[in-house]
Amino acid sequence: MTVTLSDVARRAGVSLATASRVVNGSERIPAAAIADRVRAAAAELGYVANAQAQALARSATRLVGLVVHDIADPYFSTIARGVQRWAGQQGQQVLLASSDHDPAAELDAVTAFMSYRTDAIVLAGSRLRTPDPALNQTLAGYIAGGGRVVSLGATGIPEAQHVDIANETGAFALATELVSLGLQRFAILAGPEQLATAWQRATGFLRALASAGLAPLAVLPGGFTSRGGYDAALECMVRLGGAAARPDQRTQEGPLCLLAANDVMALGAITAMRSLGLSVPRDVQVAGFDDIPTLRDHSPELTTYRLPLEEIGQVAAKLALAADAVGPVHIDGDVLIRESAGRPGH
Amino acid sequence: MTVTLSDVARRAGVSLATASRVVNGSERIPAAAIADRVRAAAAELGYVANAQAQALARSATRLVGLVVHDIADPYFSTIARGVQRWAGQQGQQVLLASSDHDPAAELDAVTAFMSYRTDAIVLAGSRLRTPDPALNQTLAGYIAGGGRVVSLGATGIPEAQHVDIANETGAFALATELVSLGLQRFAILAGPEQLATAWQRATGFLRALASAGLAPLAVLPGGFTSRGGYDAALECMVRLGGAAARPDQRTQEGPLCLLAANDVMALGAITAMRSLGLSVPRDVQVAGFDDIPTLRDHSPELTTYRLPLEEIGQVAAKLALAADAVGPVHIDGDVLIRESAGRPGH
DNA sequence: CTTACATTGGAAAGCGCTTTCCACGCTATA
DNA sequence: TATAGCGTGGAAAGCGCTTTCCAATGTAAG
């Protein structure tokens, strides 16, 4: 059915070896006359190389596996875009899998990628605070077999590469800035306790408060999603006493500030406040983390810690694809004080 | 380096054929005793089948290619999630490519997928109003070679499957509803003129207005993005005379309503209005299309036409993977009147 | 005790490429 | 004129599987 390289070779009147050499870059390039003849034949026949066969013969697939928690989450989709961009430029294809926040599914994805012999695997979903031994063993096997592994945050596997994101220091800087802007009453929407990323951010917030001699009014775990932020924010208000943050009850200490472990949670929290009839930033202030593109059109503008998400994806891909990769790459961000928290005048 | 099936066979003391039969589902399953022995050997050795080799031998890859315009766009990432979900359930892997709204890049992606011999290709990015002959020829070749093609909206290739989304009728229904709620002054943010999806939606809006005996005050093309909506909305206000929509200039006809060809454009338009000091929905009303998940946390809540995006992805994947696919699947949505436009009381 | 027929495991032929050798015909050197 | 050396194209051996035949065994029927 489909055109094979033999067909091309036959039509060009050369051997399979010669055809292979001209069609797919090789060290040895045949004489110009012959090469042209082969190329012409390939074009006429509409030849498309069989990547599977090439992979088998070369034992390199030009495939990179990407596993995210949820591709519909702006954080991951933006990172995915960066990975895809870089990979595309390098002529690599991206194999996408979603773990749906389930470690078992993540392991399945990795196994599938191993089966497809992807040249590299990028783990974009946050690592757990206590590494999953089954996953790590599988990854170690993958690496031993010549695969490259890059994760966002360390895996605990020495041979694996990782991108080191300023989660804790970023959170520290953000909270410190908010304190310096006069805020004093904080509650932390910490996200899932087991997720390294969420934990690091919550820790950064806590350290910053402690440094300022403050203690959070509450620390609430929850889902790393909009819904999680919404629920945690409601729970927070209940916990602090229904009207804790209402303007007429405000002490001279200023409004309550909700520090969310990521932007989608922060947006959920704002929605929750709105549903309670509270205004952000007037009654309650809210800060997030990531600076997802979605924020562009959100009102109030969200105070957050800006991470170059697409760049993170690119860096991860680069680390995955460059044979001479260079240890962990550190990624820093910036504190972005916007309307939702810390803006002088509110 | 890596464990091959031969290793497993040797360790289990059986032939390669037998090992293959037990490890990967086959018609003929060897005797239980032998099968167990092989399975044990595979487990002990940590055998992972080489999908490339299997693909070559079976001439089926269990790979489905997905091409979107921009994976970071909530519309596409939600659809991608649906595709990925369904494919994952079927044990298929998803190969992801972004065309970045560039037809040439889309063609490249398709060619790459052909090279990888994906069993099917899902084109999630909108088709152009005038089909790209080069693409269609390539796709035809792919189909001739046994591949399946599914697109959102028709391709013009008879053998290709497609999901038929209620773009025009949805837009018609939405605009009709808004008219019936009393709105009379409309402007259309039409998106890219060449994009079938955008065109159909704009056409639906126009037909609805015409049916009501109304004509739009303006029809503005632009990018299918937040930025595109933002720019088009600003341009619209300029075009209609700076303060056309200000409350104090409102005629008895009610406020201007911006009909955007999709939600991200609508959100951009709202941001533009805000930057002009105009309030939505008080001064200007805005409606979108799609009901992307992002809207959950947006304020004002956006009036839109709800499309089951994740389901669309699933349906597309199903169409792509079921050998006995059933012609075009029609997908309908619902008009959602929310805060930003048409809500009685505003 | 044969003969016929399932069963079942194995040998081997691909699947479509890449790449190592080889053999061949040149030119440059002695 | 003989010889070493280089540039070129081709034959063939894999890469790791699947699957078609085959042969050998066991069982039931005659």
Query: A298 and A271 in contact (C-beta within 8 Å)?
Result: no
Q: How confident is the model at residue A34 (pLDDT cuts 50, 70, 90)?
A: confident
Cβ B249 to strand C below 7 Å: no
- Could you read off the pLDDT of A241-299 as tens digits, one per residue? 755 555 445 456 689 999 999 999 999 999 999 999 999 999 999 999 999 999 999 99
For each of the domains in chain A, give its residue range(s) and CATH number, in order of start: 5-49 (no CATH), 60-165 (3.40.50.2300), 167-306 (3.40.50.2300)
- Could you read off the pLDDT of A195-206 as tens digits, one per residue? 999 999 999 999
Beta pairing class for A256-260 and A304-306 = unpaired
Tokens of A182: 């006069």
Q: Can you give the pLDDT at residue B326? A: 77
- Counting DSSP H helices and E strands in chain B, the numbers are 12, 12
Does pLDDT of A338 surpass 90?
Answer: yes
Query: B77 and A72 in contact (C-beta within 8 Å)?
Result: yes
More confident call, B252 vs A33:
A33
Least confident of A151-160, A246-255, B144-153: A246-255
Query: B201 and B170 in contact (C-beta within 8 Å)?
Result: yes
Q: Do B96 and A98 touch (CB under 8 A)?
A: no
Q: Do A96 and B97 touch (CB under 8 A)?
A: no
Q: Which nucleotides of C are covered by protein (CB under 7 A)?
A: 8-12, 14-20
Q: If you search the block for the tokens 């006429």, which residue do you land on?
A: A44
Q: How confident is the model at residue B310 (pLDDT cuts 50, 70, 90)?
A: very high
Distance between CA atoms of A126 and B307, rounded to whole angstroms? Answer: 31
Q: Can you give the pLDDT at residue B244? A: 58
Query: What's the pTM value of the predicted model, to 2 decimals?
Result: 0.94
Torsion of CA A277, A301, A75, A259, to 10 degrees: -60
Least confident of A108-117, A138-147, A250-259: A250-259
Q: Which nucleotides of D are covered by protein (CB under 7 A)?
A: 8-12, 14-20
Buried b (16+ CB within 10 A) or exposed e, B38-76: bbebbeebebbbbbbbbbbeeeebbbbbbbbbbbbbbbb
Contacts of B93 in chain A (CB under 8 A): 95, 97, 112, 116
Distance A126 CA to D16 C1' (A): 34
Q: Can you give the pLDDT at residue A245? A: 54
Percent of chain A with pLDDT over 90: 82
Q: What's the rounded mean pLDDT across residues B190-219? A: 97
For the beta carbon of residue B330, count every other beta carbon within 10 angstroms: 11
Q: Can you give the pLDDT at residue A23? A: 84
- Could you read off the pLDDT of A303-315 as tens digits, one per residue? 999 999 999 999 9
CA A125 to chain centre: 6
Q: What's the rounded mean pLDDT across residues B189-205? A: 97
Torsion of CA B114, B116, B118, B124, to 10 degrees: -60
- Describe the crossing of helices B196-211 and B167-180 by its angle, rounded to 10 degrees: 30
Q: How confident is the model at residue B323 (pLDDT cuts 50, 70, 90)?
A: confident
Cβ B24 to strand C below 7 Å: no
Q: What's the rounded mean pLDDT across residues A2-18? A: 90
Tokens of B84: 């990925």
Is residue B134 within a helix (H) or strand (E), and if so which, with residue range?
helix B133-144
What residue type is B88 in one-letter code? G
Angle at A18 between CA A15 and CA A20, to 5 degrees: 110
Distance between CA atoms of B267 and B289, rounded to whole angstroms? Answer: 11
Three-state DSSP class for B177? Answer: helix
Q: How confident is the model at residue B279 (pLDDT cuts 50, 70, 90)?
A: very high
Q: Can you give the pLDDT at residue A120? A: 96
Q: Can you give the pLDDT at residue A31? A: 76
Q: What's the rounded mean pLDDT across residues A102-126? A: 96
Q: Can you give the pLDDT at residue B2? A: 86
- Could you read off the pLDDT of B236-258 as tens digits, one per residue? 999 987 555 554 454 566 899 99
Q: Do B71 and A51 touch (CB under 8 A)?
A: no
